[in-house]
Amino acid sequence: MRTKAKIWLTIIATLVTLLMAVAVGSVYISPANVFRIILYSILEYFELPNFVNMENITVANYAIVRNLRLPRVLLAFLAGSALSVSGAIMQSVLRNPLASSFTLGVSSGASLGAAFVIFLGFNFISFFTLPFLGFTFGMLTILLVVGFSAKIGLDNNTIILTGMVLSLFINAIITLLFALFRENAQRMILWQMGSFSMRDWQTVVILAPIILVGSVLVFRYKFELDILTFGEEQAQTIGLNSKRTKIILLTIAAALTGSTISFVGIIGFVDLVAPHVVRKIFGAAHRYVIPMSAIIGGSFMVLADLVARTITAPTELPVGVITAILGAPFFAYVFFAKR
């Protein structure tokens, strides 16, 4: 099948997935009615709501779609897209199938920021305190990793090992906080498992431009990513400043991951699985890998969240548990099959 046909099939499948994710829940709303409600909401913004027939759609169903499910599904898609693009960058820059922002300590840094809020009660900008500190500590972690590695030469193995060592150190601090402040341990554990519960349009509006800008910036480096995939010597032969490019791309990847997990908690395996699937279907060229990782990763996250909120309804599972259950066996198969 030609690449363009694969792309269009993926886009259509993604739209169907988003529509069904909004339709399915404790109260089932037909996809046709979901589509009408979404279209009505869009046209209402342009003061043209009369073009959509809203007959037989109750006020309750309208509120469920517009205020609860639609922002949650869009947030899940954005989070999956950001994590997948970040994972694609890390795997290409570091030439390691296991590389991710989580490997380099971004998740550990964000967890430490969240721990200060949850355990120590920091609260200086209300709702945004936890996301702000989570993002800040995540970025500080990657800056420490890159800064230390740069003094040694910014070798790929050095970057990964530095990230792992720093992650272990930060996790030790978090464990100490768990021991000292046990009364808030449950809340911290739930945050570390990741969830899209109780998120609204405010979070979507904040994250959407960050993720869009980050993804566009990465796409501008698509040819540099292709070159880095072949190694340092090839990059230097062509004349690419590999150190500078690495630092820029690693920072963007960390920003995408940090901004996402600071709002929804730690969700793993999406950033590892989605880029591998994309490379298997569309090839290794980053003009396809970057946008298709965003689409497939977003769809995977939406499906994982759908399972998390319906499989044990009316209770809800952490979405990070679902992604791990689905992602770990798949990634093990892909990794060992290559070996």
CA distance 268 to 321: 9
Percent of the chain with pLDDT over 70: 97
pLDDT at 302: 96
pLDDT tens column, 234-255: 777 787 888 888 889 988 998 8
Sign of CA dihedral 28, 34, 40, 42: positive
CA distance 244 to 256: 19
CA distance 21 to 23: 5
Nearest-Å Rg of the Cα atoms of the chain is 21
Separation in Å, CA 155 to CA 2, 93, 133, 240, 243: 37, 11, 29, 16, 9
Residues ≥6 apart with Cβ < 8 Å to 133: 113, 114, 116, 117, 122, 262
Residue 193 pLDDT class (50, 70, 90 cuts): confident
pLDDT tens column, 271-301: 888 998 999 899 889 999 999 999 999 999 9
Residue 140's nearest CA partner among 163, 122, 120, 161 is: 163
Q: Quote the pTM value.
A: 0.92
pLDDT at 107: 87
